Amino acid sequence: MKEGGSRASRRPEVLVNCAVSLDGKLAYAGGARARLSGPNDLRRVQELRAKCDAILVGAGTVRLDDPSLRVHWELLGTAPRRDPAHSRVLDGSRPTLIAVPRGSHRVYPTGVEQWRSTRDRVELAPLLDHLAGRGVSRILVEGGATVLASFFRQMLVDELTVYVAPLLIGGSTAPSLLGGEECPDAERAIPLARTGVEPLDDGVLLRFRPRPASGVAAHPL
Ligand SMILES: NC(=O)c1ccc[n+]([C@@H]2O[C@H](COP(=O)([O-])OP(=O)(O)OC[C@H]3O[C@@H](n4cnc5c(N)ncnc54)[C@H](OP(=O)(O)O)[C@@H]3O)[C@@H](O)[C@H]2O)c1
Protein backbone atom coordinates (compact mmCIF):
# COMPACT_ATOMS: atom_id res chain seq x y z
CA MET A 1 0.00 0.00 0.00
CA LYS A 2 1.26 3.44 -0.87
CA GLU A 3 2.09 5.63 2.09
CA GLY A 4 0.50 9.02 2.72
CA GLY A 5 -1.24 10.85 -0.09
CA SER A 6 -4.62 12.47 0.00
CA ARG A 7 -5.79 11.86 -3.54
CA ALA A 8 -9.55 11.58 -3.48
CA SER A 9 -10.55 9.61 -6.55
CA ARG A 10 -12.78 6.89 -7.87
CA ARG A 11 -12.55 3.52 -6.22
CA PRO A 12 -9.49 1.44 -7.04
CA GLU A 13 -9.60 -1.06 -9.86
CA VAL A 14 -10.33 -4.40 -8.18
CA LEU A 15 -8.57 -7.47 -9.56
CA VAL A 16 -9.47 -10.86 -8.12
CA ASN A 17 -7.04 -13.73 -8.48
CA CYS A 18 -7.24 -17.24 -7.13
CA ALA A 19 -6.44 -20.85 -7.90
CA VAL A 20 -9.01 -23.61 -7.82
CA SER A 21 -9.18 -27.34 -8.39
CA LEU A 22 -11.09 -28.53 -11.45
CA ASP A 23 -14.16 -28.87 -9.23
CA GLY A 24 -13.85 -25.28 -8.10
CA LYS A 25 -12.36 -25.78 -4.64
CA LEU A 26 -10.01 -23.17 -3.17
CA ALA A 27 -8.67 -25.49 -0.48
CA TYR A 28 -9.12 -28.93 1.08
CA ALA A 29 -11.89 -29.86 3.49
CA GLY A 30 -11.87 -27.67 6.56
CA GLY A 31 -9.94 -25.00 4.69
CA ALA A 32 -6.53 -26.65 4.72
CA ARG A 33 -4.38 -24.95 2.15
CA ALA A 34 -4.08 -26.60 -1.24
CA ARG A 35 -1.00 -26.06 -3.39
CA LEU A 36 -2.79 -25.59 -6.66
CA SER A 37 -0.48 -23.37 -8.70
CA GLY A 38 2.43 -24.61 -10.76
CA PRO A 39 5.71 -22.66 -11.11
CA ASN A 40 4.54 -20.52 -14.02
CA ASP A 41 1.31 -19.60 -12.28
CA LEU A 42 3.24 -18.68 -9.12
CA ARG A 43 5.43 -16.40 -11.21
CA ARG A 44 2.34 -14.87 -12.84
CA VAL A 45 0.88 -14.14 -9.38
CA GLN A 46 4.11 -12.42 -8.35
CA GLU A 47 3.87 -10.21 -11.44
CA LEU A 48 0.24 -9.46 -10.69
CA ARG A 49 1.06 -8.51 -7.10
CA ALA A 50 3.88 -6.29 -8.29
CA LYS A 51 1.57 -4.23 -10.48
CA CYS A 52 -0.98 -3.66 -7.71
CA ASP A 53 -0.76 -1.02 -4.98
CA ALA A 54 -2.32 -3.21 -2.29
CA ILE A 55 -3.28 -6.83 -1.64
CA LEU A 56 -6.40 -7.74 0.31
CA VAL A 57 -7.31 -11.04 1.96
CA GLY A 58 -9.94 -12.00 4.49
CA ALA A 59 -9.36 -12.83 8.13
CA GLY A 60 -10.12 -16.48 7.38
CA THR A 61 -7.24 -16.65 4.94
CA VAL A 62 -4.90 -14.99 7.45
CA ARG A 63 -5.91 -17.54 10.09
CA LEU A 64 -5.73 -20.60 7.85
CA ASP A 65 -2.92 -19.77 5.42
CA ASP A 66 -0.85 -17.10 7.18
CA PRO A 67 0.16 -15.51 3.86
CA SER A 68 3.02 -13.01 3.94
CA LEU A 69 1.46 -11.03 1.07
CA ARG A 70 4.91 -10.01 -0.06
CA VAL A 71 5.53 -9.85 -3.73
CA HIS A 72 8.11 -12.60 -3.31
CA TRP A 73 6.19 -14.82 -0.98
CA GLU A 74 6.76 -18.51 -0.36
CA LEU A 75 3.98 -20.98 0.10
CA LEU A 76 3.62 -22.41 3.58
CA GLY A 77 2.60 -25.91 4.41
CA THR A 78 -0.98 -26.55 5.44
CA ALA A 79 -0.67 -25.72 9.09
CA PRO A 80 -3.60 -25.83 11.48
CA ARG A 81 -5.28 -22.62 12.68
CA ARG A 82 -2.84 -20.28 14.32
CA ASP A 83 -3.11 -17.22 16.47
CA PRO A 84 -3.75 -14.33 14.05
CA ALA A 85 -1.80 -12.03 16.38
CA HIS A 86 1.35 -13.81 15.20
CA SER A 87 0.49 -13.93 11.53
CA ARG A 88 3.04 -12.84 9.00
CA VAL A 89 0.95 -9.93 7.74
CA LEU A 90 1.32 -8.41 11.22
CA ASP A 91 5.08 -8.73 11.49
CA GLY A 92 5.53 -5.03 10.72
CA SER A 93 7.80 -5.64 7.75
CA ARG A 94 5.51 -3.81 5.30
CA PRO A 95 2.61 -1.34 5.45
CA THR A 96 -0.44 -3.20 6.72
CA LEU A 97 -3.94 -1.92 7.25
CA ILE A 98 -6.47 -4.06 9.09
CA ALA A 99 -10.12 -3.26 8.39
CA VAL A 100 -12.15 -3.91 11.53
CA PRO A 101 -15.86 -3.73 12.26
CA ARG A 102 -17.35 -1.10 14.55
CA GLY A 103 -16.83 -2.10 18.16
CA SER A 104 -13.70 -4.17 17.58
CA HIS A 105 -11.35 -3.94 20.56
CA ARG A 106 -8.54 -6.00 19.07
CA VAL A 107 -5.10 -4.56 19.63
CA TYR A 108 -2.59 -4.90 16.80
CA PRO A 109 1.18 -4.51 16.82
CA THR A 110 2.72 -1.07 16.51
CA GLY A 111 2.92 0.02 12.91
CA VAL A 112 -0.19 -1.90 11.86
CA GLU A 113 -2.90 0.59 11.02
CA GLN A 114 -6.59 0.07 11.57
CA TRP A 115 -9.49 1.29 9.47
CA ARG A 116 -12.73 1.09 11.38
CA SER A 117 -16.03 0.44 9.65
CA THR A 118 -19.13 2.25 10.87
CA ARG A 119 -21.02 -1.06 10.73
CA ASP A 120 -20.81 -4.43 12.48
CA ARG A 121 -19.33 -5.93 9.30
CA VAL A 122 -16.49 -4.32 7.39
CA GLU A 123 -18.07 -2.41 4.53
CA LEU A 124 -16.06 -2.86 1.37
CA ALA A 125 -17.12 0.19 -0.69
CA PRO A 126 -16.13 2.73 2.01
CA LEU A 127 -12.93 0.77 2.58
CA LEU A 128 -12.10 1.03 -1.13
CA ASP A 129 -12.87 4.76 -1.02
CA HIS A 130 -10.46 5.10 1.88
CA LEU A 131 -7.78 3.20 -0.03
CA ALA A 132 -8.32 5.40 -3.09
CA GLY A 133 -7.70 8.42 -0.88
CA ARG A 134 -4.45 6.76 0.20
CA GLY A 135 -3.29 6.53 -3.40
CA VAL A 136 -4.31 2.93 -4.11
CA SER A 137 -5.48 2.80 -7.70
CA ARG A 138 -5.38 -0.97 -8.18
CA ILE A 139 -5.96 -3.64 -5.55
CA LEU A 140 -5.51 -7.38 -5.78
CA VAL A 141 -8.07 -9.43 -3.85
CA GLU A 142 -6.80 -12.96 -3.23
CA GLY A 143 -9.60 -14.47 -1.19
CA GLY A 144 -10.82 -16.41 0.55
CA ALA A 145 -14.24 -17.64 -0.38
CA THR A 146 -16.19 -15.35 1.97
CA VAL A 147 -14.38 -12.19 0.98
CA LEU A 148 -14.70 -13.06 -2.71
CA ALA A 149 -18.46 -13.50 -2.24
CA SER A 150 -18.70 -10.04 -0.65
CA PHE A 151 -16.77 -8.40 -3.48
CA PHE A 152 -18.76 -10.15 -6.21
CA ARG A 153 -22.18 -9.72 -4.60
CA GLN A 154 -21.51 -6.02 -4.10
CA MET A 155 -20.36 -5.75 -7.72
CA LEU A 156 -16.97 -4.41 -6.79
CA VAL A 157 -14.89 -6.64 -9.08
CA ASP A 158 -13.36 -5.45 -12.36
CA GLU A 159 -11.49 -8.57 -13.40
CA LEU A 160 -11.21 -12.19 -12.28
CA THR A 161 -8.31 -14.47 -13.10
CA VAL A 162 -8.53 -18.10 -12.04
CA TYR A 163 -5.90 -20.76 -12.40
CA VAL A 164 -7.68 -24.10 -12.72
CA ALA A 165 -5.44 -26.90 -11.50
CA PRO A 166 -5.57 -30.47 -12.84
CA LEU A 167 -6.90 -31.83 -9.57
CA LEU A 168 -10.24 -32.94 -8.16
CA ILE A 169 -10.86 -32.37 -4.46
CA GLY A 170 -14.51 -33.24 -4.02
CA GLY A 171 -16.68 -33.34 -0.92
CA SER A 172 -19.01 -30.66 0.33
CA THR A 173 -16.97 -28.85 2.98
CA ALA A 174 -13.91 -27.79 1.00
CA PRO A 175 -14.43 -24.08 0.24
CA SER A 176 -15.21 -23.23 -3.35
CA LEU A 177 -14.39 -20.01 -5.17
CA LEU A 178 -17.54 -18.22 -4.09
CA GLY A 179 -18.57 -18.67 -0.49
CA GLY A 180 -21.11 -16.58 1.34
CA GLU A 181 -24.82 -17.07 1.10
CA GLU A 182 -26.56 -19.91 -0.72
CA CYS A 183 -27.67 -19.31 -4.29
CA PRO A 184 -31.14 -20.80 -4.74
CA ASP A 185 -31.76 -19.74 -8.35
CA ALA A 186 -30.42 -17.99 -11.44
CA GLU A 187 -31.46 -14.61 -10.07
CA ARG A 188 -28.68 -14.76 -7.52
CA ALA A 189 -26.01 -16.28 -9.76
CA ILE A 190 -23.29 -13.91 -10.93
CA PRO A 191 -22.85 -13.76 -14.71
CA LEU A 192 -19.34 -13.42 -16.12
CA ALA A 193 -17.91 -12.73 -19.56
CA ARG A 194 -14.85 -14.73 -20.54
CA THR A 195 -11.95 -12.57 -21.74
CA GLY A 196 -9.14 -15.09 -21.95
CA VAL A 197 -8.14 -18.76 -21.86
CA GLU A 198 -4.60 -20.06 -21.91
CA PRO A 199 -2.87 -23.30 -20.94
CA LEU A 200 -0.52 -22.74 -18.01
CA ASP A 201 1.61 -25.33 -16.25
CA ASP A 202 -0.59 -28.46 -16.30
CA GLY A 203 -3.76 -26.45 -15.88
CA VAL A 204 -5.60 -23.55 -17.50
CA LEU A 205 -5.68 -19.84 -16.80
CA LEU A 206 -9.11 -18.27 -17.24
CA ARG A 207 -9.91 -14.56 -17.32
CA PHE A 208 -13.34 -13.04 -16.84
CA ARG A 209 -15.04 -9.73 -16.37
CA PRO A 210 -18.31 -9.42 -14.50
CA ARG A 211 -21.18 -9.12 -16.95
CA PRO A 212 -23.89 -6.67 -15.94
CA ALA A 213 -27.23 -8.39 -16.35
CA SER A 214 -30.68 -7.08 -15.81
CA GLY A 215 -32.35 -8.94 -13.01
CA VAL A 216 -29.12 -9.43 -11.05
CA ALA A 217 -29.00 -6.78 -8.39
CA ALA A 218 -26.29 -5.90 -5.89
CA HIS A 219 -26.93 -7.59 -2.57
CA PRO A 220 -24.74 -6.15 0.17
CA LEU A 221 -23.79 -8.82 2.67
N1 LIG B 1 -6.78 -21.09 -3.71
C2 LIG B 1 -6.69 -19.78 -3.53
O3 LIG B 1 -6.37 -19.03 -4.46
C4 LIG B 1 -7.00 -19.21 -2.18
C5 LIG B 1 -6.74 -17.87 -1.91
C6 LIG B 1 -7.08 -17.35 -0.66
C7 LIG B 1 -7.68 -18.16 0.28
N8 LIG B 1 -7.91 -19.48 -0.02
C9 LIG B 1 -8.58 -20.35 0.95
O10 LIG B 1 -9.76 -19.71 1.38
C11 LIG B 1 -10.06 -20.20 2.68
C12 LIG B 1 -10.42 -19.02 3.57
O13 LIG B 1 -11.63 -18.48 3.13
P14 LIG B 1 -12.76 -18.11 4.18
O15 LIG B 1 -14.01 -17.94 3.41
O16 LIG B 1 -12.74 -19.08 5.29
O17 LIG B 1 -12.25 -16.74 4.79
P18 LIG B 1 -11.89 -15.32 4.12
O19 LIG B 1 -12.77 -15.03 2.97
O20 LIG B 1 -10.41 -15.28 3.90
O21 LIG B 1 -12.20 -14.34 5.33
C22 LIG B 1 -13.54 -14.16 5.75
C23 LIG B 1 -13.52 -13.32 7.01
O24 LIG B 1 -13.13 -11.99 6.70
C25 LIG B 1 -13.74 -11.12 7.61
N26 LIG B 1 -14.51 -10.08 6.92
C27 LIG B 1 -14.56 -8.79 7.34
N28 LIG B 1 -15.32 -8.08 6.54
C29 LIG B 1 -15.81 -8.89 5.58
C30 LIG B 1 -16.67 -8.69 4.49
N31 LIG B 1 -17.17 -7.49 4.19
N32 LIG B 1 -16.98 -9.76 3.72
C33 LIG B 1 -16.46 -10.96 3.98
N34 LIG B 1 -15.63 -11.21 5.01
C35 LIG B 1 -15.30 -10.17 5.82
C36 LIG B 1 -14.65 -11.94 8.49
O37 LIG B 1 -13.86 -12.28 9.62
P38 LIG B 1 -14.40 -12.21 11.10
O39 LIG B 1 -15.53 -13.17 11.13
O40 LIG B 1 -13.24 -12.54 11.94
O41 LIG B 1 -14.87 -10.77 11.25
C42 LIG B 1 -14.87 -13.18 7.65
O43 LIG B 1 -15.20 -14.30 8.40
C44 LIG B 1 -8.83 -20.94 3.17
O45 LIG B 1 -9.12 -22.33 3.11
C46 LIG B 1 -7.76 -20.58 2.18
O47 LIG B 1 -6.85 -21.63 2.00
C48 LIG B 1 -7.59 -20.01 -1.22
More confidently predicted of 93 and 78? 93
Whether ligand 1 lies within 6 angstroms of the CB of 60 is answered as yes
Mutate to test the pocket of ligand 1, among 69, 97, 146, 205 (most ligand atoms within 8 A of CB): 146
Mutate to test the pocket of ligand 1, among 62, 147, 219 (most ligand atoms within 8 A of CB): 147
Least confident range of 17-31, 90-104, 147-161, 172-186: 90-104
Q: d(Cα 161, Cα 158) in Å, to the nearest integer?
A: 10
Whether ligand 1 lies within 6 angstroms of the CB of 36 is answered as yes
Element (H, E) at 132: helix 124-133
Whether ligand 1 lies within 6 angstroms of the CB of 12 is answered as no
More confidently predicted of 80 and 156? 156
> Taking the CB of residue 44, how many other CB atoms lie within 10 A of it?
18
- For residue 136, the one-letter residue type is V
Q: For residue 146, how far is its CA from the centre of ligand 1 (angstroms)? A: 5
Instruction: Please give the average per-residue pLDDT across 127-141, as a whole number.
Output: 97
Burial, 162: exposed, middle or buried (Cβ in 10 Å; 0-12, 13-18, 19+)?
A: buried
Least confident range of 17-21, 62-66, 163-167, 207-211: 62-66
Whether ligand 1 lies within 6 angstroms of the CB of 21 is answered as no
Superfamily of domain 13-210: Dihydrofolate Reductase, subunit A (3.40.430.10)
Listed by start position, the domains of the chain span 13-210
Whether ligand 1 lies within 6 angstroms of the CB of 57 is answered as yes
Q: For residue 159, how far is its CA from the centre of ligand 1 (angstroms)? A: 19
Look up the pTM and report it. Answer: 0.89
Q: d(Cα 210, Cα 220) in Å, to the nearest integer?
A: 16
Q: d(Cα 160, Cα 217) in Å, to the nearest integer?
A: 19
Is the per-residue pLDDT at 201 higher than 80? yes
